[in-house]
Amino acid sequence: MANTNLTGNGTEVFNSRLWGGVGDDDTSWLQSPIGSNAATGTICMGIVDVVITDGDAAAAYDLALSTNAIVGSELVGVLSLHNVTTASGNAFAEAGMVSTTTLIKFTGVGSDGDTIRITFLYR
């Protein structure tokens, strides 16, 4: 897929692994091997700023697009959408609640060219 109604590939604000979730049969969630910082089965938290082309139309950020600021294989959940340009443009709703395993879909409520901050959990 691809980004929809977004200019560019976003700007990474924050991207970090969360040290909490593991597979049901995994006992090596801290580090395996020790010192590797390679926790298995955990999720990550990403925050990305994207510029919406048409401020009041549907948009999508594709986690699977290798050129995007943050890339992943599975969307776990969208935590928030925040318009950092237009204060009155913050009444976001996911676009029909149809985000997929890699697409974060939403409908803009601000102006053309506004910067939208998306906070999400992913693998």
- Give residue-wise pLDDT tens across range 78-102: 888 888 998 776 767 655 556 788 9
29 within domain boundaries: no
Q: What is the DSSP letter of 35?
A: T
Q: How many folded domains does the chain comprise?
A: 1
Q: Which residue is associated with the tokens 């986690």?
A: 63
Tell if the pTM clears 0.85, that is, is over it: no
Instruction: Decide if 22 is inside a domain.
Output: no
- Let me know if residue 37 belongs to a domain: no
Residue ranges of the chain with pLDDT lower than 70? Answer: 1, 19-41, 89, 91, 93-98
In a domain, 28, yes or no: no
| The residue type at 83 | N
Q: DSSP secondary-structure letter at 4? A: B
Domain annotation covers residue 26: no
Q: Is 106 contained in some domain?
A: yes
What is the span of the domain harbouring residue 51? 6-14+43-122
Structure tokens given for 76: 């776990």
Q: Is 19 a member of any domain?
A: no
33 within a domain of the structure (yes/no): no
pLDDT value of position 92: 75
